[in-house]
Homo-oligomer: A and B are copies of this chain.
Amino acid sequence: MAGNTFGKLLQITTFGESHGASIGGILDGVPSGLSIDIESIQSELDRRRPGTSQLTTARKEHDIVEIFSGIIKNEDESLITTGTPVGFGIQNNDAKSKDYSYLKNAYRPSHADYTYEAKYGLRDIRGGGRSSARETACRVVGGAIAKQLLFAASKVEISAYVERVHDISVPFPPAYFERSVIDENIVRCPSKDIADRMIQRIEDVKNTGDTVGGSIVVVAKNVPSGWGEPVFDKLEADLAKALMSIPAVKGIEVGSGFSGTLMKGSEHNDAFRTDKVGKVNTETNRSGGIQGGISNGEEIVLRIGFKPVSTIKKEQNTVNRDSEEMKIIGKGRHDPCVLPRAVPIVEAMVALVLGDHLLRQRSARL
C-alpha cells in the first residue's frame, strides 16, 4: 500500500534506484510445486537489457538476476518453488554517478526530477534515482516467474511486439506472434519490412539528438473464461493500472479501443457462436477478450502508447531549485526509442496481472 507493491495474491514488491548498490524485489504468493527455469527468467532480462543493439543506450547493465529464496532443488537438481516468497536482486554494476552531478539543481523537462522533489523535499539525483526505468528490470523478473506459473497452470502465453514507431506502423490488426518472430529484429516488430523502416527512423532521429515514441500491442492467449473481479478489480482495470505504471506510457486501449468508440452497437458487438466441438466463442473480438471485467476465453488484446523519451541532446528551457529559469542539455547514454526494450516489460506486467487473477479465480465458487 506504500506504492511499491502490486497484486493481491501474486504480489510483487520492488526496491532500488538507478545508481544504488542493487535493485531487487520479492515475489510473494507463488504457489508451491512450480518448476522454475532460471535461464528463461534471465533471457527475459536480457531482452530488456540496454546496450544490446545500436537502438539502445550504450549503458552496460549486466543485469544478472540472483534468486535468494523460495526455490529449492529437487533430487534431480531441477528447481521447484516452495510456496514461500521469492527474493531476488540485480547488481548495479555500471553506475557512473558523476554523469549526473550537473543535475543537482536543474529539473529535466518531462522527467520526474521536479515532482520527486515536490513530493519528498529531496531526491537522489543519480540517474533519476527511483524514477529511472531501471526499476522495470525487477518487474521483468517477477513477470518471468508469473509467465511460468500461467503456462504451467493454464497454458496461457503472452506476447508483445512493437506495432508502431513514430508514424511507421504495421498494416495489420493486433494478433498473437511467436517470440521467435518478434525477436528476429532489434526493434521487435513482427514485420521485417516495417522493422527496417522503424530502425532507420530511430537512427535518423537519434542522429539529430532527438527521440521517438510509438505503440506496443500485447496479446495473451489461452486465458480461460472467468478471470477478473468486478466491479473495481475488473481484468481490464488491473491491466490498465499495470501498464500505465510503466514509465512513458500515455495511453491504453483494450480490444477495439478508441477506434471502437466510432462504431455503432450493431457493428461493435461480438456475436456468440459455437465452434466445431461445441465450444462457445465470439465471431469478432472487439471486446479484447474481456466482457464485464471478466475474461471470455478469447485472446486478450491491448495496445499501449509510449511517449518519446524525455532525455534529448538538445538545449531546452527549464528552471532550477531556486526557481530561476535556465537552459539544460541532456547528457549520458539514453535510448532514442524505448519501445524495443519495453516489449518484455509490457509482457511482464500483463503476466503479473493474469497470474494474480489465475489465483483469485480459485476463490470464486464454493
Contacts and interface: CB of A to CB of B under 8 A. Distances in A.
Interface in A251-292: 251-258, 260-274, 278-280, 282-283, 286-288, 290-292
B251 A14 contact: no
A241 interface: yes
A50 interface: no
Interface in A294-321: 294-297, 305-312, 314, 316-319
A114 B262 contact: no
A100 to B, nearest CB: 12
A119 B226 contact: yes
A340 interface: no
Interface centre among A14, A23, A166, A279 (most CB of B within 10 A): A14
A177 B8 CA distance: 37
B294 A119 contact: yes
A265 B264 CA distance: 36
A254 B240 CA distance: 12
A121 B365 contact: yes
A21 to B, nearest CB: 5
B291 A110 contact: yes
Interface stretch (A51-59, A183-191, A207-215): A207-215
A66 interface: yes
Contacts of A32: 119-122, 364-366
B287 A112 contact: no
Given A115-B295, A280-B114, A294-B112, A5 B5 contact: yes
Given A68-B24, A107-B272, A9 B265 contact: no
Contacts of A28: 2-5, 13, 15
Contacts of A254: 244, 250-251
Contact of A365 (B120, B211, B255, B280): B120
Nearest to A14: B231
16 contacts: A9-B360, A13-B13, A21-B68, A31-B364, A109-B269, A112-B230, A231-B245, A237-B241, A251-B257, A251-B261, A264-B308, A265-B308, A273-B319, A274-B319, A286-B307, A363-B363
Given A22-B87, A251-B261, 6 more contacts: A13-B13, A109-B271, A110-B291, A244-B252, A250-B288, A260-B308
